[in-house]
Every structure is written in C-alpha cells, then in structure tokens.
Structure 1
Amino acid sequence: MTPQDNADRSTHFGYQTVPESEKARRVADVFHSVAARYDLMNDLMSAGLHRVWKAFTIGQAAIRPGMRVLDVAGGTADLARAFAKRARGQGRDGREGEVWLTDINASMLGVGRDRMIDDGLLMPVAQCDAEKLPFPDEYFDVVSVAFGLRNMTHKDTALAEMRRVLRPGGKLLVLEFSKLVPGLGALEKLYDVYSFKVLPWLGAKVTDDAESYRYLAESIRMHPDQATLKSMMEGVGFDRVEVFNLSGGVVALHKGWKY
C-alpha cells in the first residue's frame, strides 16, 4: 500500500467519516480543549460514578509492590496514581515497582504529570501513540487503558501493541463506555437524551465547548459492544477474556491475559 493509499483510507470521528490522517488531529483538538476541566466534567457527567468504575478496575488490577505497570491513554492519571501507590517498593523478585503514565495528548499528559507530582509520585511519563508503544517486548506485568480505546484509529493494532509489551502471565484491563444490557428500553431513551442533549449543553456551560462533548457522545455509540471488543482482544491473542458490565452496561471492563 502506498502512502497515498493510506492517506485516502477513511475512519469514524464520531458519526462523521474522515480520512484516517485527519482523525488523530481532530481527537487531539478535542482533548487539548477539555484537558483543563476534564476531571470536573467527569464528575459532573457521571455524577461521580466514574470513580466507582475506576475503583473496580484498580481492584481487578491487583497491583503488588515491585510490579511494572503501563497506563495507556492515562490522561489525568486517576489509574496511574492509584497503581503507583500500590507498586512502590520492592517485589519478591527484587524489582522496584515501576508505573508509566502515557498519553498521546500533551495537554492531558501535563495535567496527569502535575497530579502525580502533587501526590509525591515521581513516576515516569511518556507522550506516545498507543499503536506504536516505545517499550520492549514482555516488559510489563499489567497494562491498562481507561476511556481511551474508543478514540484510537486502529483499535486492533493498539490492542496487539499492549499484548506485545506484556510479559507472559500479564493482564490487560480495558475500561470503556459500552452498550446497555438488553431489556432497559426506557433507560435507553433517557440515556440518548442525556448523551446528545445534556452532555453538549453541560460542555458548553463548563468548558465553553459543546462540540467536543457531542463528539464524545457519538464516539461512545460508535465503539464496539462488549462481545465485539471481547472478540477483538481474543483475535490479537488474549486468553480468558472476561467482561464485567458496570452500571447496566453503560461502562464495561474487559480483562484479558497473555499466556
């Protein structure tokens, strides 16, 4: 495939179809715009539930002293900070704990880095593309990505990269918005109104940016459902993939192992 062929390939940016080469820039614009008030908006949008979803993910990660952990698209470092507090110290094999906070977006990464420093957590930070992770094979014990996979152009490529950097016996945790479980008809209608009316209005009031939150709502709808994402993880080589529906499937945690 020539460079021109690659440039002409299309993908989704919310409900829009755009050239692949344009999506990364548009996603970057969204997160540059919302970074300063990202955490406040998370609390407002989810009524604080995002903290519960992340706490469940942190529990499933089961980080111990001495572990090496990679937080992909870690943004403002909610997971990385919790992981770092648990990984500090020496493990049974003599390794010192190591937690990397990474994100492709400099504005989000800057907020996360500052929060880590404020907590006294001097852990490494790297701006990088999840589809081209700058880490050696079989280095990490745990890899996580929370609310970032749906913004990636080639999700299968990113998942394969996360598996590549995991050691045998390591696990991947993917926390992401998903699809409501069947049988919640009335809630589905309410959820649509909230997503496409309330969220953009809230974004306009709090961040002066309704369009970014309209994109976020659309990107949730375009993201693969639970079964499809499970199949994608299995397709790149993950084993024993488990799915945990949270809040009726509004969010799902996928956990897979590398053997």
Structure 2
Amino acid sequence: MTDATAGEPETVSFGYEEVTPEEKTERVGAVFSSVAKSYDRMNDAMSAGMHRLWKDRFVRRVKPREGETILDMAGGTGDIAFRMARHGAAITVSDINQDMLDVGIERAEKQGIQGLAWSRQNAEELTFGDREFNAYTIAFGIRNVTRIDKALAEAHRVLKPGGRFFVLEFSTTEWPGFAEVYDFYSHRIVPQLGQMIAGDSESYRYLIESIRRFPKMREFEGMIRSAGFRHTKVEPILGGAVAIHSGWKI
C-alpha cells in the first residue's frame, strides 16, 4: 500500500508480514543484535561453508586495488572487508547495527587486520559526502534495508564517477527441481539450525522469509538501473539462489 501524498510506503515487508517502515527498521535491528555473536557460525552451518566461496568470488569481481576507497555497507562482522583489505584498498566498514560492528572489530583485532575504518551508518541516509568512494559493496544486506530505492540512490551519490557498485544477495533459483529442495531446506531446516546454534529460530525464520520477498534477479537489476547505474549485470550462482549484481556510475 502506498501513500499517494507523501510518496512513501505505508507498509513494507518484514518476512511475510506487512509492517510500518519504522517498525521494520526496529525489528531488523533486533534480529541482528540477537544473532550477531553466532552469525558467522550460522553462515557456515546454513551454507555448508559455501558462503566463503561466494564471498571470494564476489571480491574477485570487485577487484579492489591499492589506493582506492571502498565502502562496505552492511559489512557487519567484516567478512567482505577482510578479503578486500588484503589488496591494499582503504575500506570503510559500515552497518546500521552496532552489535554486528562490535563483532567485526573484535574479529579484526584477533586476526591482526589493521587499517579498517568502522562507521555506524543507515544505508538509506549515509553521512558521507558526494563522490567519496571508488566502489560500494553490500553482501547479504540489501534485502534487509527498509527502503531499498533510497539505499540504491545513496550508493550512487557517494560513488565517484566511474565508481563500481556490487551486491551479493540471495535470490530465487531457476534450476528445475532444486527450487523445491531449497525451499524445503530453508523453511524447515534453517530455523531448526538457528535454534540449535544461536538459540533463536524466529530470527532465522525471518531471514528466510526476507529472501522470498526480495525482488527476483531481473527485477532487482531494473531497480539498480533506475537508481542511475549503467552497464548493469547479474551473475547467478546455483541457478540464482545467490546472485552477484553490479553496475557503474557513469
């Protein structure tokens, strides 16, 4: 439902529920505060470790280079930032959730990774100036943003001309047969894993539901183009269960 006067949605999806934008922001924050400390262990359990390969592939597409500046939005526990920092780029790790950032900072200290900047930010209202970054990355975070169009517009704003935009996100697999298996696994097994490992089945039930409500690959690519990006591309993984989206600010 849309408010025709203000142009803002009256309700947005929180999993399979419809809630106000303000309530979604609050509830998503509570989800990630709940799962922050077990987030990385759950990623390994849910994907049988494959998320590590997806992230490696994602960073290879970004091609971080020494001397350039990159904003890693929804960077939370640092998985993407740590990979990019190895190439000498100056990385700013941002997340709306301080609990996730705190886990990332602790992990960086334990692994001896230095030189990262950590900044609590709302993807829809970044405090950075125009044209500050050479690249913007967001991995498994865009679907949790309340107003995706605003986050895309902000990404475009803070990128320099010629800047690169990359998204790694779950989507909808197009492989026949696999879709049914994946649907059963995600809806039935993942919440049970969440209860076993994180003591929280409901948060992981929401995360699965949020995947189902996220736009399909070509629809999301259209949203990226509408935000002003050009030369957009979609790279499906596992038939689209996961996808790498990219675009350029011209």
TM-score bin, normalised by smaller chain: over 0.9
For 1:45 and 1:37, the matched residues in 2 are separated by: 12
Structure-1-length-normalised TM-score:
0.91
Q: How does 1:73-222 map to 2 (within 5 A)?
A: 73-87=74-88, 97-118=89-110, 119-181=112-174, 183-184=175-176, 186-222=177-213
For 2:84 and 2:149, the matched residues in 1 are separated by: 25
Runs of 4 or more, structure 1, over 6 Å off, are 5-8
Residues 204 and 6 (structure 1), Cα distance of their counterparts in 2 relative to 1, 3 Å cut: farther
TM-fit CA distance, 1:122: 2.9
Tell me the residue number matched to 1:252: 243
Gaps of at least 5 residues in structure 1 are 88-96
TM-fit CA distance, 1:120: 2.9
Which AA in structure 1 matches 2:13?
A: H
Contact 2:90 2:115 in 1 (8 A): no
Tell me the residue number matched to 2:216: 225
For 2:113 and 2:241, the matched residues in 1 are separated by: 33
Structure-2-length-normalised TM-score:
0.95
For 1:215 and 1:52, the matched residues in 2 are separated by: 24
Residues 23 and 6 (structure 1), Cα distance of their counterparts in 2 relative to 1, 3 Å cut: farther
Gaps of at least 5 residues in structure 2 are none
Deviations 1:100-145 (A, max 9, x none): 0000001111111122223231311001100011111111011000
Tell me the residue number matched to 1:92: none
Deviations 1:238-259 (A, max 9, x none): 0000100012211000010001
Tell me the residue number matched to 1:10: 11
For 2:8 and 2:152, the matched residues in 1 are separated by: 22
SS state at 1:218 partner: helix
For 1:231 and 1:176, the matched residues in 2 are separated by: 15
TM-fit CA distance, 1:6: 9.1
Q: How many residues are treated as equivalent by the alignment?
A: 245
Which AA in structure 2 matches 1:211?
A: E
For 1:234 and 1:123, the matched residues in 2 are separated by: 30
Q: How does 1:60-75 map to 2 (within 5 A)?
A: 60-75=61-76
For 2:48 and 2:242, the matched residues in 1 are separated by: 14
For 1:195 and 1:109, the matched residues in 2 are separated by: 26
Which AA in structure 1 matches 2:240?
A: G
